[in-house]
Structure 1
């Protein structure tokens, strides 16, 4: 997921802020999954219900274990080490069975995944030993004393892959799993890591399931909002038109300071609206658009099993509010959506202040308000991925947060210039291959409603690099526990993935 998605921006609440991240960069976090609440995993890159046959403990009670890891895998002269958190589930293991490794993402690793999820269904059937490794710099895995930009230089997908490689090597030796076949799992950004782990360390990883994985890095990602428009229209063709009318009205109102008191009241802002720069208005507009972006990304999924709030808010619910003429003009309905989200997350008011966001994101303490993943993930977007969901396309319903607004934050937070960002993104695609991955035994599930599918693999690259494109599903939907209301195409997708694993483990 995303993988995805969150932390950085206090949208409607801390939980919505996590959603923003998942959305913002693949988001997910999937195995952070909104543990604070950021995208399983986007990213803003969640939660679910249960399927579970042999629970190993009560929810969230999986034992924390710790692994000694090198700070810098690419500098043999640097002896520094740190402790990385991981979890184990041996309940399904049968001697000679495979090892399943769930990859953590841009947020805290959630122990709920050690008890439930589609991967554990596969593990039970295949007799797998299950591990989950938390990503460096997220959750409780703190490699450095703080989150200063100098220390964040040790945060990258390449260092994370090297963590996985060393962890896999040592675990195989110490737990007697040397002859076992290892399978990597991940969703959103961790889905990308799962694919890249197989790509870069094929001698260590036999196969990978890369769910909702954005494998193509791009500075500007306006296609995200284009998918949001199409997904809203799939529910009601008038819905994105009403959203656009409301957004355009707000943009016009923001031009007149006399309207600021009314806007403050309409959207229940925590403090009186002040627009001193274009970034102030862009932040407000992006925050409100985020209500729709987040719901689309996770529409109708089964995140409830992990305790995530708001899973009852779907595209259908938002579009029904936007279609309710009794609420007034589209602008008033737009405000009603914001209030609905605040009520859902028990948030008293909406903090839409860019100055507050800037202060939070430049706080380098592990106790800082953005240390749950926001400061770290946005750093990765500025130094590796981009993924900025701008309003630069005319084929989407929002206005007011163009690419320069996003790019300037890299300079504000980490002193990364636009040129450095562009070069870093190009290097990422050069290193991993973007859409042109050349490997084997990697399956790429994606959902058609999920905006991240645009940056993923949705068609077979080859017979050994298949795609599973699931119509009508959202971000990382195939990873969640099964439930009776799942659409048949989602059930078939999970079955397809299992059949591939069966086949590949025989090879």
Structure 2
């Protein structure tokens, strides 16, 4: 069935990373609280929307194309709008209206302005409030524009949200494409076959089998050198730190280096990209190569580790003369990092209330120093910072956990280079809850715009995604292709 669909729906995606500017930027008057009847429930805030309507078929015969809506992530809307070219490439075939909705407490969608990040202001930050926001916006669009079909898209946390939209609001969302969405890991209901940091290690080993050992020994040397006289100058020089290193900064420096390795594994794209930093093509291979070259020059694993980790923060231009590790990396309740800026605090809070994600590193199956992080430690941290504690039961009760057997029309895609795939849905659940595996794919690579250097596995994945969306919407995407489009179809 799927093979036949692929043959009929195979599409040619424009080989360009360019995403057009929004045709409209709007502010939607959104409820602060969807779940109470208190006086505050009547308060509203401005939620930012990006719309692109150039491909929308609002048809002369009364036909109206579907709404493609992206459920915003833990960051400013621009970051995801300009890195989700797939939606723009397939929109013409469906005559779709494109809409990106910014997540509350991120970007410019702040319920209480600068006070949003106070402990009191954060009380309305949750994924349940966020999905209710999306539902309000989608319902408004459906009614005001006579739209009858909606496809929801999202990657990473946005992918979790987009799956939840189909689960919680099936009357509003007809199809959901959830890319790199680690729902079972978040719910702690299924023990992954591989741990997050083990996959990062395997990515570096695939680049060169010597690299994990360099990283492991580099961390070991760092541990040992801080016990010796004069370590301050040595570590400061080796890692090119802007401020003189002190042993009190030790754990943060380790986190800074660990974060660099895992982020490069996440965004190990086959071409230069700036999604989470200015990085070259295949950044894991590039970082590994830099470490090997440093070993040939100095023979010092700690220096090699510093060089390899510095790639994430230094970017492709390599212009930084020194690193400020406290600006580059923020420690938080998410051991894989919370990013930087105000968004870091918002995500930190969510990880203190809703999400317990990646398992710690062990130095046994992975190349990183042991990291102790459990519910007790997290609770103490969260109580001290926000007066809240994680609830390990809440996610499995509210979000279907890892049991999607009663669900329908959800695509879960995962790339095997992405360490988050350890917590993803990796097998078909039923005929309409499908898992798509991308062998050479990093973090939601399939949602990015097509590129001439894309591996075949992501081309096939996108074609399958289009076929499923077309089937589940009951449409034929090929009906919207011109003869010129047909001449450019991808054939295998």
| TM band (smaller chain) | 0.7 to 0.9
**Matching residue within 102, 107, 129 for 1:134:** 102
RMSD across aligned C-alpha pairs, in angstroms?
Answer: 2.8
Name the CA distance, whole Å, in 1 between partners of 2:310 and 2:228: 23
Shift in CA distance, 306/402, structure 1 to aligned 2, threshold 3 Å: closer
Alignment match, 1:337: 308
Paired residues of 1:49 and 1:304 also in contact (CA < 8 A): no
Name the CA distance, whole Å, in 2 between partners of 1:293 and 1:62: 36
Alignment match, 2:43: 80
Q: Helix, strand or coil for the counterpart of 2:278?
A: coil
Deviation of the 1:343 alpha carbon: 3.6
Q: Helix, strand or coil for the counterpart of 1:160?
A: helix
Deviation of the 1:391 alpha carbon: 2.0
**Matching residue within 78, 81, 91 for 1:123:** 91
Shift in CA distance, 398/257, structure 1 to aligned 2, threshold 3 Å: farther
Shift in CA distance, 111/410, structure 1 to aligned 2, threshold 3 Å: closer
Alignment match, 2:5: none
Deviation of the 1:314 alpha carbon: 1.3
**Matching residue within 316, 322, 328 for 1:349:** 322
User: 1:93-492 counterparts in 2 under 5 A?
Assistant: 93-95=56-58, 96-110=64-78, 113=81, 117-145=85-113, 146=115, 147-177=117-147, 180-216=148-184, 217=186, 223-256=195-228, 258-276=230-248, 280-301=249-270, 304=273, 309-312=278-281, 314-324=283-293, 325-327=295-297, 328-344=299-315, 346-353=319-326, 371-388=341-358, 390-392=360-362, 394-403=364-373, 408-416=380-388, 420-421=389-390, 424-437=391-404, 438-492=406-460
Paired residues of 1:223 and 1:393 also in contact (CA < 8 A): no
Q: Helix, strand or coil for the counterpart of 1:152?
A: helix
Structure 2-normalised TM-score?
Answer: 0.82
Name the CA distance, whole Å, in 2 between partners of 1:340 and 1:200: 41
Name the CA distance, whole Å, in 1 between partners of 2:87 and 2:369: 40
User: Unaligned stretches of 5+ in structure 1?
Assistant: 1-47, 362-368
Alignment match, 1:36: none
Shift in CA distance, 395/308, structure 1 to aligned 2, threshold 3 Å: closer
Name the CA distance, whole Å, in 1 between partners of 2:143 and 2:198: 48
Shift in CA distance, 76/114, structure 1 to aligned 2, threshold 3 Å: farther
Deviation of the 1:248 alpha carbon: 1.3
Q: Helix, strand or coil for the counterpart of 2:24?
A: coil
Bigger Rg, which one: 2
User: 1:36-115 counterparts in 2 under 5 A?
Assistant: 50-51=16-17, 56-57=20-21, 62-77=23-38, 78-95=41-58, 96-110=64-78, 113=81
Deviation of the 1:274 alpha carbon: 1.8
Shift in CA distance, 470/400, structure 1 to aligned 2, threshold 3 Å: same
Deviation of the 1:275 alpha carbon: 2.1
Shift in CA distance, 346/154, structure 1 to aligned 2, threshold 3 Å: farther
Q: Helix, strand or coil for the counterpart of 1:149?
A: coil
Paired residues of 1:270 and 1:349 also in contact (CA < 8 A): yes
Q: Helix, strand or coil for the counterpart of 1:425?
A: coil
User: Unaligned stretches of 5+ in structure 2?
Assistant: 1-13, 59-63, 334-338, 476-492
Alignment match, 1:32: none
**The 10-residue stretch of structure 1 (224-233 or 108-117) with the greater mean CA deviation from structure 2:** 108-117
Structure 1-normalised TM-score?
Answer: 0.80
